[in-house]
Amino acid sequence: MSQLQGFSFPRSATGSSSLVPLPPWHYSGDMLTIEYRTDPATVAELLPKPLSLADEDPGAVAVVWADWQSCSDDFNEVVDPSRLQYKECFVVVRCSYEGKTFSRCVYIWVDKDYAMVRGHIQGYPKKLGDIWMTRPVTVGKAGPRLEPGGRFGATCSSYGRRLIEAEFSITDASDHAGFVNALPMLHHRFFPAIEADGTDSLNELVTMQGYDAEVGPAFTGTVNLRLFESPVEELTRLAPREMIAGYWRSVGVSWNGGTTLANLKPEVGL
């Protein structure tokens, strides 16, 4: 019998069929971030034990669109762009664990299968979706420039329904790109038991952040955000009470694993 190879399924004799390659993974892309405040009680609904609301600004939320290129350490995807490029839209809150504040992704949609499964490995609750965001241009008229007056739009849809849409207009340069999504991530990695009895075979609390980060100039501006009802989504529970601002920035980062903070007793509903 051969020893099957591969970082993720499907494992095979050589490992070439694995949907997700072995880390490290490298990312470069553009991010549109919209921050606002909602009712802290609705954020608390999304924080299972042992997490709690952040002490400062507990109702702060970020909705982030990202247009990525990502690749493994041999960079073979660079000449195979269908495996290189993807887009995602994610919703981030902040939480507290053992006296420290973390960022936490509570909803996320992505348009490629490998990016979805890769996110599941990291604890991101990724679903497939249809994501679009305006790209800036440096020549011609068919897009905004990264300068005051530049206007951008972004949408996220799933199962044929629009879930989120936004408009962003640059007003000025910025020395940052928001605060909600600026901390190490804290996620649960879980997988239900095959017995389907309400327990989990895997239930871990993990944290992670990237390395070798590079960032481009940041821009801030005015925003308009709309959330829509869906029979299988709960975004409108996080409806804005107060808009903060929007931000645009190009970023690059690499990832090569995280840290398990706790192996949790299987519980229903985590």
pLDDT of residue 268 exceeding 50, the answer is: no
pLDDT of residue 19 exceeding 50, the answer is: yes
pTM over 0.85: yes
Rounded to whole angstroms, how far apart are CA atoms 189 and 206? Answer: 7
pLDDT of residue 1 exceeding 70, the answer is: no
pLDDT (tens digit per residue) in 47-77: 999 999 999 999 999 999 999 999 999 999 9
Q: What is the CATH number of domain 25-263?
A: 2.40.400.10
Element spanning 162, H or E: strand 161-174
* pLDDT score for 266: 54
| Percentages of the chain per state (helix, strand, coil), in multiples of 5 | 10, 50, 40
pLDDT (tens digit per residue) in 117-131: 999 999 999 999 999
Average of per-residue pLDDT across 220-237: 97
Confidence of residue 265 (pLDDT cuts 50, 70, 90): low
Average pLDDT taken over every residue of the chain: 96
**Under 8 Å between Cβ of 62 and 91:** yes
Rounded to whole angstroms, how far apart are CA atoms 40 and 42? Answer: 5
